[in-house]
């Protein structure tokens, strides 16, 4: 799959404990993006965050937060990501979703 230089990044932030159909929402979103042949997705775990309620979620050892922020970044052309948003809205209850235009510098698979 080729990815044009002018593409888009969809960033979704959900709590680690949020579920969709019995599995973690971040995992369900990632797998749905792959199923829909979206160019690429990455999940990272935040070490600290707060959102609309201003409640702090932290990975500090002495604090017992079980709802760390999970960040799913999905890259493809803008039209595909716009079409993915209604699917996404059915999958998440809380969190943050942003989209921005990006310039793809390098998108290749290493051949051996």
69 within domain boundaries? yes
Determine contact, residues 92/9, Cβ cutoff 8 Å. no
What is the mean predicted confidence (pLDDT) over 78-91?
A: 97
Determine contact, residues 9/75, Cβ cutoff 8 Å. yes
Q: Model pTM?
A: 0.86
Which residues are within 8 A (CB) of 74 and not within 5 positions of it... i.e. 6 or more apart?
A: 9, 10, 11, 12, 33, 38, 40, 41, 81, 84
Domain count, the chain: 1
Please tell me the least confidently modeled range out of 15-19, 71-75, 105-109: 105-109
- In terms of residue numbers, what domain contains 70? 6-103
Question: What SS3 state is found at 71?
Answer: strand
What is the mean predicted confidence (pLDDT) over 52-76?
A: 76
Q: How confident is the model at residue 68 (pLDDT cuts 50, 70, 90)?
A: confident
Q: What is the CATH number of the domain that holds 94?
A: 3.30.70.120
112 within domain boundaries? no
110 within domain boundaries? no
Q: How many residues does the chain have?
A: 112
């Amino acid at each position: 799959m080729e990815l044009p230089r002018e593409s888009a990044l969809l960033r979704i932030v959900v709590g680690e404990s949020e579920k969709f159909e019995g599995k973690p929402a971040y995992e369900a979103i990632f797998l749905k993006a792959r199923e829909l042949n979206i160019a690429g997705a990455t999940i990272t775990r935040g070490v600290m965050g707060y959102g609309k309620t201003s409640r702090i979620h932290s990975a500090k050892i002495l604090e017992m937060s079980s709802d760390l922020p999970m960040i799913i970044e999905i890259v493809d052309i803008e039209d595909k990501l716009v079409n993915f948003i209604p699917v996404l809205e059915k999958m998440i209850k809380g969190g943050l979703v942003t989209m921005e235009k990006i310039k793809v510098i390098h998108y290749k698979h290493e051949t051996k």
